[in-house]
Amino acid sequence: MQHRIDPEKIGPQGEVMAHAIEACVHCGFCLPACPTYQVLGEEMDSPRGRIFLMKEVLEGNLSLEEAQPYIDKCLGCLGCVTACPSGVPYGELITSFRAYSEPKRWRSPFQKVFRLGLQETLPYPARFRAAAVLGRLARPLKPLLPPALRAPLELLPEALPPTKPLPALTPAEGPRRSRVALLAGCAQQVLQPGFNWATLRVLARNGVEVVVPQNQVCCGALALHTGERARALHLARKNLEAFAGDYDTILTNAAGCGSGLKEYPLLFRGEPEQDQAQRLAEKVKDISVFLVELGLKEVPPLPHPLRVAYHDACHLAHAQGVRNEPRQLLRSIPGVELVEIPEGELCCGSAGTYNLEQPHIAAALGERKARNILATGAQAVVTGNIGCFAQIEAHLKKLGRPIPVLHTIELLDRAYTGQAPVPAAPADP
Amino acid sequence: MTPALRELEALFPRGLLRQPGELVAYESDALTAFRARPLAVVLPESHEEVAAAVRWCQKHRIPYVARGSGTSLSGGSLPVEGGLVIGLNRMNKLLRLDPKERIAVVQPGFINLQVSLAAAPYSLYYAPDPSSQPVSTIGGNLAFNSGGAHCLKYGMTSNHVLGARVVLPDGETALLGSESLEGIGPDWLGLFVGSEGLLGIATEVTLRLLPRPEAYHTVLAAYDTLEKAGEAVAAVVASGLLPGAMEIMDSLAIEAAEAAVGAGYPREARALLIVELEGETPQVEAEARHLERVIRDSGAYEVRVAQSEAERMKIWKGRKAAFSAVGRLSPDYIVQDGVVPRSKLGQALAEIERLSERYGLRVANVFHAGDGNLHPLILYNGRVAGELERAEELAGEILKLCVALGGSITGEHGVGMEKRAYMPVMFTPADLEAMRRIRRAIDPLELANRGKMFPGSEAKPLSHGPHPLEKAGVIARE
């Protein structure tokens, strides 16, 4: 598409944005893939509509305030990237545009405090834990709180699992086949510390030595995707240092963190660490991809057959193109019957902090996802991302049919360790 | 706000878009060379609301255009400058599906592919399959009489629409056609289908469903020249076969489709022919043996047969993504749509190649070879001064070529905004006058999709945002 953007005026990200807009031919193939278009049915809430709006803002024909409500509604799920025949790098466009516009926009004092609160809490496990405890105590006050504060309270789990620090090094069992570094993720360390322990056990069993660099921090994706570029850079710089060791592979077990690390080259564009960021990004692999490439050691059968629905996390399927590997892992567990979820490519509405900032759309999508999952008759649902995990669990519960939600690696771990994969008496008869 | 707008607001308390940030998104359809800012967009949810919007336009003499998913490649759903856009996206329901009668009644915003998905449990499907079928709406398909890869065997949209409830330009309701194939009286529905939104807005459409073919046999043949592929098409037809579809892609189109979806096409081929047989298993098996001989004799250097439904879908995914995928090869391109008699395919392609060289612009070819429907994609860079004009001129030459060879200026994308100027190449002044009189008999004020289809009826809208004077605040549009 034609544009009159002057990349020079916009900075290092200007060229990225101009290129993306140029690649869009406005064909509309993205419309059915866009969750907000599915829910709202209006052109400005579609990917090509947003591309038009961003173009107009960057060209100076439209004020930022006019465009902002629609840009804000984008989940960043990248479903459109999968659907796009002409290869528009929409993720790079929206991320860059948010970084470009955030310092220029007006926000109410309440919004500022709310956003600052999220950014200063979620990425730091100790603070998040403390906030979650406070939040649980505040639950009885929910009806008195402004709506924006109710959503986060609803997503908090009933009880936080106990947590202990991950070992700096977990040796391989038997002959060592590989050595990797693990990004532990921030929110998941508080909400579901079991994911990381399961990851360590499965990797060790498969002959992999795992280093957990102790000075690692949040990957910065939460900040980057909400336009807080400086904050994201600050965090990412610490990780460049933490993961500078001699690792062939940097593993992630949260889809959002994996794609966050893979976005470092975009984040560092025009910065001195550009090359270092590129090298790091090339080493990043999701746990499922790594295990499939390595070749799993034989998995013992489950004690009883289990019908499992696999939910594609957007940041695995759309952002990283990882679809087959998690399914392959699940199929390699004897006793698992894998079923596909209708509308599987549609986002569940979690999308980082989206379910906190746009609770209505997030809830509509969450409910739709939960219904689609239940329609499969699955006894458990498996996914590879903490955000989806929390969202799906909350919405299944809301519908009154809380079938167990597991991380892919948890199901694998339970098969290896001979535990029951889900509690007895599955919800679905 | 003017009294007229206040009235509109009262009619559409929850479906009126007026803010610049909302209107910008509706300025173009899939032909971005044209842009126009509408006065407002309304999103009706019923037949009555569509009628109310049309009556409002009539009362205030405001031109309007109906819009579905905005995928028109001829600018058919481009807003009329300062007019109203009637967005039918909220009227997207399946009203009835009757497997015994083999019909589906849908609202105009219902998506083409969804019809087949809804009919699948009954082993039925909706035959017209434009490449935009996962996106484009039945209302738009009806207005432009959309075709698709399989119209070689099954015909266009007009062959699959049985009836429609429409709002005429005076706001009155008419029922055209019926639920059966046999109607009485003049074929009003036939006049309505393909009228590009000039004769009214359909609010309910009755579609004909067909039994899903029992078996498919999809063959991919690679050639070292485009002519050989073109001749193979003629040979297949001459041999007595009537495949469901016969499509050709040239090397640029193959490159683009491969980059977009990785369909597994032979990348080095100069031309690729896709032939699909369909029907009952014994028939398809017999035809497949026959086809194999014809293709072998046509000089294909590689032949592949889809071994599974997944492989078949992959072949089609590549073909259907080809238009948009060309966006990967060039920042801008014009999708052309012309028809030549099947026997003149080779001649047309050779001439297009000569034109491409003469104008110094690359042309990718993706087309429905079986029915002679060409889709040359003219690649250009709009930032290079004069290239757009050159591309438009080349596009015009191709259309004139189609007419000279005994074909037509459009196969399925319609005239819309893009080809208005070429109507006189195809029709005499008397033809055009007759069409105008039919239009004025139904819409005396020419409000419905004003400015489209007829040559020179309106000034060309701004193609690149506001006028400099407007930007400077000297002039305004309201």
B41-87 tens-digit pLDDT = 999 999 999 999 999 999 999 999 999 999 999 999 999 989 999 99
Q: How many helices and strands in chain B, by DSSP H and E?
A: 16, 20
Q: For residue B208, give the DSSP letter.
A: E
Residue to mutate among B16, B116, B135, with most A CBs inside 10 A, is B135
Question: What letter represents residue A407's amino acid?
Answer: H
pLDDT tens-place string over residues B423-458: 999 999 999 999 999 999 999 999 999 999 998 754
Domain-ending residue, one of B372, B404, B436: B404
Pick the CATH number of A299-417 from 3.40.50.2300, 3.40.50.10790, 3.60.20.10, 3.40.50.11810: 3.40.50.11810
Q: From B22, which residue of chain A is nearest by alpha-carbon distance? A: A44
B281: pLDDT strictly greater than 50: yes
pLDDT of residue A150: 73
Query: How crowded is the C-beta side of A82, counted as CA atoms within 13 Å?
Result: 22
Q: Which residues of B touch A346 (CB under 8 A)?
A: none
Task: Clarify whether residues B83 and B5 are in a common domain.
Answer: yes
Angle at A237 between CA A232 and CA A243, to 5 degrees: 120
- How close does chain A come to B328, measured CA to CA in Å? 5
CA atoms of B317 and B126, how far apart (whole Å): 18
Q: Residue B471, by phi and psi: left (phi above 0), alpha (psi -120 to 50) or beta?
A: alpha
Q: Which residues of B touch A42 (CB under 8 A)?
A: 17, 22, 25, 43, 87, 89
What is the pLDDT of chain B when averaged over all its residues?
Answer: 91
Cα B165 to Cα A88, B86, B222, B437: the distances in Å are 39, 16, 46, 23
Residue among A22, A53, A84 minimizing CB distance to B21: A53
pLDDT of residue B459: 43
Residue A93, token pair as written in the block: 């466009």
Residue A217, token pair as written in the block: 């921090």
pLDDT of residue A148: 67
Assess contact for B76 and B197: CB atoms under 8 A: yes
H/E segment holding residue B470: helix B468-471
Q: For residue A250, give the DSSP letter.
A: E
Domain range annotation of chain A: 7-104, 109-155, 169-292, 299-417
Task: Clarify whether residues B370 and B430 are in a common domain.
Answer: no
The reply to whether A299-417 shares the fold of A169-292 is no
Cα B261 to Cα A31, A79, B367: the distances in Å are 18, 15, 18
Architecture of domain A169-292: Up-down Bundle (1.20)
Q: Using alpha carbons, select from B100, B69, B66 the residue that is nearest to residue B85.
A: B66
Residue to mutate among B258, B324, B332, B477, with most A CBs inside 10 A, is B324
CA atoms of A332 and A329, how far apart (whole Å): 5
Phi then psi dihedrals of residue A416, to 5 deg: -65, -40
pLDDT tens-place string over residues B128-149: 999 899 999 999 999 999 998 8
H/E segment holding residue B176: strand B173-177
Pick the CATH number of A7-104 from 2.40.10.10, 3.30.70.1150, 1.10.1060.10, 3.30.70.1900: 1.10.1060.10
- How close does chain B come to A7, measured CA to CA in Å? 14
Task: Clarify whether residues B166 and B227 are in a common domain.
Answer: no
pLDDT of residue B467: 45
Q: From B471, which residue of chain A is nearest by alpha-carbon distance? A: A61
Q: Which residues of A touch B335 (CB under 8 A)?
A: none
pLDDT tens-place string over residues B196-243: 999 999 999 999 999 999 999 999 999 999 888 988 998 999 999 999
Q: For residue B448, give the DSSP letter.
A: B
pLDDT of residue A355: 77
The number of beta carbons lying within 10 Å of the beta carbon of residue A276 is: 18
pLDDT of residue B294: 95
pLDDT of residue B191: 96
**Domains contained in chain B, number:** 2
Residue A255, token pair as written in the block: 């889809």
pLDDT of residue A317: 97
The answer to whether position B420 is within a domain reads no
Residue B158, token pair as written in the block: 């007009």
Does the distance separating the beta carbons of B324 and A84 come in below 8 Å? yes
Residue among A26, A53, A69 minimizing CB distance to B32: A26
The answer to whether position B410 is within a domain reads no
Assess contact for B318 and B258: CB atoms under 8 A: yes
CA atoms of A44 and B17, how far apart (whole Å): 10
Burial environment of residue B122 by CB neighbours within 10 A (0 to 12, 13 to 18, 19 or more): middle
Q: Which residues of B touch A24 (CB under 8 A)?
A: 327
B263: pLDDT strictly greater than 90: no
Q: CA-based diameter of chain A, in Å?
A: 64
The answer to whether position B172 is within a domain reads yes
Residue among B22, B111, B261 minimizing CB distance to A44: B22
Residue among A27, A50, A53 minimizing CB distance to B324: A27
The answer to whether position B439 is within a domain reads yes
- How close does chain A come to B234, measured CA to CA in Å? 31
Q: Which residues of A touch B30 (CB under 8 A)?
A: 25-28
Does the distance separating the beta carbons of A22 and B331 come in below 8 Å? yes
CA atoms of B466 and B164, how far apart (whole Å): 38
CA atoms of B222 and B236, how far apart (whole Å): 15
| Contacts of A237 by beta carbon, 8 Å cutoff, 6+ apart | A273
The answer to whether position B417 is within a domain reads no
Residue to mutate among B12, B18, B22, with most A CBs inside 10 A, is B22
Residue B186, token pair as written in the block: 């003049």
Kindly indicate the confidence band of residue B180, based on its pLDDT and cuts at 50, 70 and 90: confident
Q: Which residues of B touch A86 (CB under 8 A)?
A: 260, 324-328
CA atoms of B430 and B420, how far apart (whole Å): 16
Does the distance separating the beta carbons of A41 and B43 come in below 8 Å? yes
A297-335 burial: b if 16+ Cβ within 10 Å, else e = eebeebeeebbbbbbbbbbbbbbbebbebbbebbebbee
Burial environment of residue A122 by CB neighbours within 10 A (0 to 12, 13 to 18, 19 or more): buried
Residue B54, token pair as written in the block: 């049309």
Cα B471 to Cα A5, A104, B100: the distances in Å are 16, 22, 59
Residue A3, token pair as written in the block: 């544009």
Question: What letter represents residue A200's amino acid?
Answer: L
The number of beta carbons lying within 10 Å of the beta carbon of residue A293 is: 11
Kindly indicate the confidence band of residue B466, based on its pLDDT and cuts at 50, 70 and 90: very low
Q: Which residues of A touch B107 (CB under 8 A)?
A: none
Q: Hey, CA dihedral for A87, A91, A94, A100, is it positive or negative?
A: negative
| Residue B223 belongs to domain spanning | 215-404
The DSSP-derived string for B420-434 is GGGHHHHS-HHHHHH
Tokens 């957007």 belong to: A314
CB under 8 Å, gap of 24 or more: what pairs does B158-162 form? B158/B190, B158/B193, B158/B194, B159/B208, B160/B126, B160/B127, B160/B128, B160/B207, B160/B208, B161/B189, B161/B193, B161/B205, B161/B206, B161/B207, B161/B208, B162/B103, B162/B189, B162/B206, B162/B207, B162/B208
Residue B203, token pair as written in the block: 């609010």
Assess contact for B380 and B330: CB atoms under 8 A: yes
Q: What is the dihedral of CA A364, A368, A369, A372, to 10 degrees?
A: 180
- How close does chain B come to A44, measured CA to CA in Å? 5
Cα B52 to Cα B45, B49, B349, B444: the distances in Å are 11, 5, 49, 18
H/E segment holding residue A233: helix A229-242
CATH number at residue B33: 3.30.465.10
Q: From B45, which residue of chain A is nearest by alpha-carbon distance? A: A41
- In the A/B pair of chains, how many CB contacts fall below 8 A? 119
| Contacts of B3 by beta carbon, 8 Å cutoff, 6+ apart | none
CA atoms of B337 and B31, how far apart (whole Å): 13
- How close does chain A come to B423, measured CA to CA in Å? 25
Task: Clarify whether residues B354 and B219 are in a common domain.
Answer: yes
Does the distance separating the beta carbons of B20 and A66 come in below 8 Å? yes
pLDDT of residue B65: 98
Task: Clarify whether residues B166 and B284 are in a common domain.
Answer: no
Assess contact for A284 and A261: CB atoms under 8 A: yes
pLDDT of residue B464: 40
Assess contact for B201 and B172: CB atoms under 8 A: no
Assess contact for A278 and A211: CB atoms under 8 A: no
Low-confidence ranges of chain A (pLDDT < 70): 147-148, 155, 424-429
Residue among B26, B325, B464 minimizing CB distance to A85: B325
Residue among B20, B28, B135 minimizing CB distance to A32: B135
